[in-house]
Amino acid sequence: MKKMVMAIEGAKDSGSSGMASKYSSADIAMSTVGFMVVSAGMSVANKMAVNYLKLPMILLAIQSAFGILCLLPLYKWINIGTLTDIVRLSSLTLVYCGMLITSLFAFQALPLTTIVVIGSSAPLITLMFEIMCCVKTDLRASMSTICSIIFVVGGMGLYGFALGDFTFGGIGGLWISAKLLLAVFYQVGLRYLMVSSKSPININIQGIMLWNAIVLLIVSSLLAFALGEHEALVQNQVNLRHIHTIIAVLASCAGGTLIGYTGLRAQARISATSFMVCCTANKVVVIVFGIVMLNEPCTLQIIVAALLVIIGTTWYTFDRREMESLETWNRDSDKGLENSVTIAGWMHKRLSQSLTTDPENDSPHRKSDVERQGLLGNDED
């Protein structure tokens, strides 16, 4: 076991050194800082935009229209597939719309600390979803896995006790819970359509993003009319002239567009462990911003509970990566051992056949000829 861990750590070190040699220190630093700014800023911008504008469906329509405008110049790289592919994707696109709609309603109803705490439980929801729905899932848990889950559950319980409300804001808790469930379903369904299905859809990532944005624009616009937000927009049009509202809306649009690019860029330049540390730091920044700038509730119990949840989810994610690395190493080692045993067995069998004595001429000289022909090949030709 010690050798396996050393081999895995050696592979990680070589991968990290390879990334460090490929990219300059300035490039790595700028990519990491850029991802952290965009990641933390997106949550803050969504919270500020929905608070200032007070029209979540109008905000979502603006964000989707902004995304479409950003994707249109990339039309040469967009593959939308066939009509059948679009129909298969459309049901999942509605789940995507529901995920973003419930997310904005949660931002409108809950403080940032609550959103971070409940949102951090997403890995546990994914785990329960896999256990209940994926019968073939081979789940292996270590002591670190169990301890990290205890941290998360204990932190959420302490947070609910600190708020005095284990429903986490009533309707707001329902919105964020629905968002997490829809997000898990969307990720699992998208992977099935693109990879696991016997006939995967012929739509690339850019095509999926464009189609999702188009459907989201239609759905959010219809909901805006149904909820009367268009009338509120006309009546409160003066609010749109405020510079802080415009900045918050534009920042939320830019954050939603840049988060994918900056995330991939950072992952290509830093290790997985460093990336998880950045994500954890982002959550802390979001919580601090909510407490300092938005005057959200702040007690010692809330801070300890939030830290327990963040540490637990980071620990859980890191542990699952280690378990997957060990399983991959074991599979590769077993395969290599099987191949080596097979080769050794073949060589032994070949050697035994070559040294077999001819019953008609049992002489040392004949054995030498057979040995020479069996091991070195037939030289008579």
CA 278 – CA 317 distance, rounded (Å): 13
CA 235 – CA 86 distance, rounded (Å): 38
**3-state secondary structure (DSSP) of residue 4:** helix
- Per-residue model confidence as pLDDT tens digits over 174-198: 888 888 888 888 877 887 887 766 7
176 contacts: CB under 8 Å, gap ≥ 6: 102, 103, 106, 110, 114, 115, 118, 119, 168
CA 136 – CA 145 distance, rounded (Å): 20
- Per-residue model confidence as pLDDT tens digits over 71-113: 888 888 888 888 998 999 998 999 999 999 999 999 988 888 8
Tokens of 329: 């190493």
Name the pTM for this structure: 0.69
Domain residue spans of the chain: 337-375
240 contacts: CB under 8 Å, gap ≥ 6: 53, 233, 246
CA 179 – CA 173 distance, rounded (Å): 10
Q: How far is CA 8 from CA 5, 119, 290, 322, 328, in A?
A: 5, 31, 39, 9, 10
Contact yes or no for 327/137 (Cβ under 8 A): no
CA 22 – CA 16 distance, rounded (Å): 10
Closest CA to 333 of 344, 325, 323, 322: 325
Give pLDDT < 70 ranges for the chain: 1-21, 126-127, 129-141, 164-169, 196-197, 236-240, 264, 272-273, 276, 324, 327-381
